[in-house]
Amino acid sequence: MGGGTGADSDNTSAAPPPASAAADGGDVQIRQSRRLPDFLQSVNLKYVKLGYHYLVSHLLTLCLIPLMAMIIVQAGQMNPEDARQLWLHLQYNLVSVIVCSAFLVFGSTLYVMTRPRPVYLVDYACYRPPSHFQVRPQKFMEHSRLIGDFDEASLEFQRKILERSGLGDETYLPEAMHCLPPRPSMAAAREEAEQVMFGALDTLFANTSVKPKDIGILVVNCSLFNPTPSLSAMIINKYKLRGNIRSFNLGGMGCSAGVIAVDLAKDMLQVHGNTYAVVVSTENITQNWYFGNKKSMLIPNCLFRVGGAAVLLSNKSADRRRAKYKLVHVVRTHRGADDKAFRCVYQEEDDAGKVGVSLSKDLMAIAGGALKINITTLGPLVLPISEQLLFFATLVVKKLFNSKVKPYIPDFKLAFEHFCIHAGGRAVIDELEKNLHLMPVHVEASRMSLHRFGNTSSSSIWYELAYTEAKGRMRKGNRVWQIAFGSGFKCNSAVWESLRHVKPSPKNPWEDCIDRYPVKTVS
């Protein structure tokens, strides 16, 4: 059978193609030839833009080089008499020289004393739950059906959300949600919080060799689970942290609270010198599972999964040698004054009295507005002058001449090598990829983190950074943009600069599966 098929193939290939096929082939060649100039034009425009970017970015250097050359030439042509006159002039003005030098030294000292302390990211660790906590979509649906709280319409809605979510087969749910019936008790919620926080902290302390007693600042963020004593108190009790530690517990601040926690730790490190700060970002699912049939409240059930991260920050100059990153900027945007933005992610009771988090249909539009404000603030801090000039020029043209002119979207690929977009869902990643004109490789870490770990709330940006490191892509001097969205409504950005070629730390959450990624996800 195989030989006969091969013979038929040989005969077919030897025969001339039919007239219709030849015509089709000619049409294809014509279409390709017509596309070729368009392709060449796009390539030319790309290199013109790159040339413009390098010209404007290095304009000062290009102007200074001829100036310095002229000064050197003039100095070389100076005769001995002119040189002697210059030296006598300096001697007669010795007092002026001394005063100017004193002011220069004083100004330099004042600048060094008052400038912000650099904040270094020594290392971080992401929690990876045990494999028996994994839940496949089929198991998720079977479990939801057996619980008996969902009607057929709600089950079908959850099935469709799971199909389009971008989540894979290896995401994790807490132990309490694997039980039949589920046991969303306070004790089970505390157990989940301890497993996640202590698991990440144990790895962090082991990798950095930092003693818990050396920690001077602790910031914990968890939006929906806020017990008494607090989560920060649970950590202090577990690791016997010192009595004068500055501890903070952030609640109700949504998926962008991880950046807020870093910003708070940064501010504290400006005040308290020569110390360490630990930021713990997590979310708790056990007591926040929705057992009703309101569709807008069922979406979080399908997306949120177990996860958490612990980050060690330092303001010690000695830690620069071993630190992975330096914090460059934090930009925070809050739209809470707008009623629609305030209620677009809202925890409430449904008509049956069951508590859940409702997601508004306007969520993506509101997120887009928050993103626009955030990048308008961030842009001047990170974009090269070439992009800023283009943005300003289109803004002036739009304002003065033609209101229909589309605003210029700056090319953030010129400012950052890596993007960690909060893995809130496939739609969030799609929108940012489209609106920021990113390439698939720029959103790969976000898509793969969503596929492997699901939406882990405020810790998702750290799983994405861990993915980039595990792939061996983080080089010295690379800049990373972490961007997250959260209830309120908030959009927050953190910018980091790599201090060396970063290798993944021990117990990286991707260490035994990175070779399988990237995988193709459902579009």
Q: Which residues are catalytically annotated? A: 255, 334, 418, 422, 451, 455
Mapping DSSP onto H, E and C, the string for 328-385 reads EEEEEEECCCCHHHHHCEEEEECCCCCEEEEECCCHHHHHHHHHHHHHHHHHHHHCCH
Beta bridge partners of 490: 334, 486
Q: Do 331 and 380 meet the contact criterion of CB atoms below 8 Å apart?
A: no
- Name the nearest CA neighbour of 178 among 130, 139, 127: 139
For the chain, the 3-state helix, strand and coil shares in percent, each to the nearest 5, are: 55, 15, 30
Q: Do 289 and 182 meet the contact criterion of CB atoms below 8 Å apart?
A: yes
The dihedral region occupied by 331, where left means phi > 0, alpha psi between -120 and 50, and beta the remainder, is: beta
Q: CB under 8 Å to 457, separation ≥6 — which residues?
A: 223, 254, 255, 281, 282, 283, 304, 307
Residue 187 has which token pair? 């004790």
Q: Do you find a cis peptide bond into 489, omega within 30 degrees of 0?
A: yes
CA distance linking residue 220 with residue 207, whole number of Å = 20
Q: Do 224 and 347 meet the contact criterion of CB atoms below 8 Å apart?
A: yes
- Between β-strands 308-314 and 215-221, what pairing exists: parallel, antiparallel or unpaired? unpaired
Q: CB under 8 Å to 127, separation ≥6 — which residues?
A: 195, 196, 197, 199, 200, 203, 282, 306, 307, 308, 309, 459, 509
- Per DSSP, 159 falls in state H
CA distance linking residue 424 with residue 143, whole number of Å = 23
Give 76-113 as a DSSP string: HT--HHHHHHHHHHHHHTHHHHHHHHHHHHHHHHHHHH
